[in-house]
Amino acid sequence: MNIYKEALEDMVWQFAYRGTKDDKSILWTGGQSALEHAFNVLDYDDPKFIDDIDGCICDVEGCPEWVEAQGGMWSDTGYWCLCRIHSDAYRKGKPQPGMKQRAIDREASRNSETGCLPIK
């Protein structure tokens, strides 16, 4: 991929609409012509289905929603990345749900002294 397409992809990730469809995370154009053009240049479907990406998609098992809050929720068990639904559940005092294995593995990899994740 050339630097122009990389820049265009960065812009799509920043400005495209985010949501879910068929229990999958998506990016979509929302009918915005500049985004439609960018999706076309990048050969993306509209909507573009997104894999379960650490730090972007909620850490709760089975949840395809986008992250809107990080850390501070159920912090005795980890530094979780949560969507609006699950961060609201935390604020309402609900018990911690099961977390995705990728999130559990991420938290287990933290340095026990610094709390930092390893540099990859």
Residue 73: count of CB within 10 angstroms of its CB: 20
CA distance 99 to 86: 11
Provide, rounded to the nearest whole percent, the portion of the chain with pLDDT above 90: 92
Given a contact cutoff of 8 angstroms between Cβ atoms, the answer to whether 100 and 60 are in contact is yes
The beta strands (E) that lie in the chain are given as 17-21, 24-28, 48-50, 69-70, 81-82
Residue 9 in tokens: 């992809």
pTM of the model: 0.84
* pLDDT tens sequence across 83-117: 999 999 999 999 999 999 999 999 999 998 998 99
Query: Model confidence over 42-53: pLDDT tens digits?
Result: 999 999 999 998
